[in-house]
Amino acid sequence: MTQIHPTAIVSPRAELADSVAVGPYCIVGDNVRLGDNVVLRSHVVIEGYTNIGAGCEFYPFATIGLPPQDLKYKGEPSRIEIGASSIFREHTTVHPGTNGGGLLTKVGANCLVMVAAHIAHDCDVGNNVVMANNATLGGHVHVGDFAVLGGLAGVHQFVRIGHHAMVGGLSGVENDVIPYGSVMGNRAYLSGLNIIGLKRRGFSRDDIHALRAAYRLMFAEEGTMAERLQDVAEMFKNNAPVMEIVHFIQTDSSRAVCQPQAKRAA
> Cα dist. 91→39, 82, 108, 126, 241 in Å?
15, 17, 19, 21, 36
What residues does 79 pair with on adjacent strands?
49, 104
Looking at residue 212, what DSSP letter applies? H
What span, in angstroms and rounded, lies between the C-alpha atoms of 84 and 63? Answer: 18
The SS3 call for residue 241 is: helix
Say which amino acid occupies 221: E
First to last CA, the chain: 62
Catalytic residues: 121-122, 139
